[in-house]
Amino acid sequence: MASESKEVELDFPPYLKVYKDGTVERLIKSPYVPPSLDDPITRISTKDIKISSNVSARIYLPKITDPNKKLPILVYIHGGGFFGSAFSLMDHQYVSQIVSKSNALTVSVEYRLAPEHLLPAAYEDSWAALQWVASHSVVDSEIEGGKETWLMDYGDFGKVFLGGFSAGANNVHNTAMKAGEEGLIGGVKILGAFMSCPGFCDSKTAKGSDKENELYRVWSFVYPSAPGGINSPLINPFADPNLAKIGCQKIFVCCTEKDELRDINLRYVDALKKSGWNGELELVDVEGEDHCFEAFDPFTEKAQSLISKIGSFIKG
């Protein structure tokens, strides 16, 4: 391959390599999965839509058994170090399992990816997608490209959720914080948010384990201009004096025994409890598993158990 003879400037396994000539080689080769209006296995319908010039999404519609019953709406923000795609096989399978367990109409956001688009692009795009969803709650609102019929016909805007894993869970936290501080179109409220192994770091742990060092390197690369660096509230929630204002009524956090981010995830849960936020908090700590195991293989017994818990969280 031609890349073998080029000089590597930055190496971020397992995500990508950046060469000195400016080219980028993505190392995770999860194949693209096209949408399907009638998946014969999952019975879930999917389609891809454009939200704006920068943002697209894949919408997942569960099998409709009662056309008069509205469905919870999940805005899903994918992980992958801000490098991966929402349309990959891994994300498509994972989201399909969540949809099956939760029966939620799901909007999986395809935000602009690093390193071509550094942060805060992914945060901005995820916020734009959430506001786009919320705008459908306003009867006479005008939406570029027209309103999305699945949201209008089947979505329950009183049951809006956010969710994601790893970098996506980091994004979920920050999107929920912004919702709490600025509010959503139409007065829509986020009922709940689930975060699996959220990608947080701070100066206390940045020089600790290999995983934390990796996260610190990735953060410095994808957001070199972050105000406060590693102590930005965007990566370090403990630095945010307004943590109690997180804009959702209940939160589900998953961490895993073998994940080197487990400690900071547990500290995040503790910080939420002590912040003055008065919502409901659920923690699931999975024994014997590593970082976001349920996303990498959602069909194992433990993965199915965790995804079922996420589904129950959304169903209420």
* Cα–Cα distance list, 206 to 103, 209, 213, 215, 282 (Å): 38, 8, 6, 8, 26
3-state secondary structure the chain: CHHHHCCEEEEECCCEEEECCCCEEECCCCCECCCCCCCCCCCCEEEEEECCCCCEEEEEECCCCCCCCCEEEEEEECCCCCCCCCCEHHHHHHHHHHHHHHCCEEEEEECCCCCCCCCCHHHHHHHHHHHHHHHCCCCCCCCCCCCCHHHHHHEEEEEEEEEEECHHHHHHHHHHHHHHHHCCHHHCCEEEEEEECCCCCCCCCCCCCHHHHHHHHHHHHHCCCCCCHHHCCCCCHHHCCCHHHCCEEEEEEEEECCCCCHHHHHHHHHHHHHHCCCCEEEEEEECCCCCCHHHHCCCCHHHHHHHHHHHHHHHC
Torsion angle in degrees (nearest 10) through CA of 277, 281, 285, 291: -60
User: Using an 8 Å Cβ cutoff, are 111 and 77 in contact?
Assistant: yes
Q: Which residues are the active-site residues?
A: 166, 259
Rounded Cα distance, 33 and 93, in Å? 9
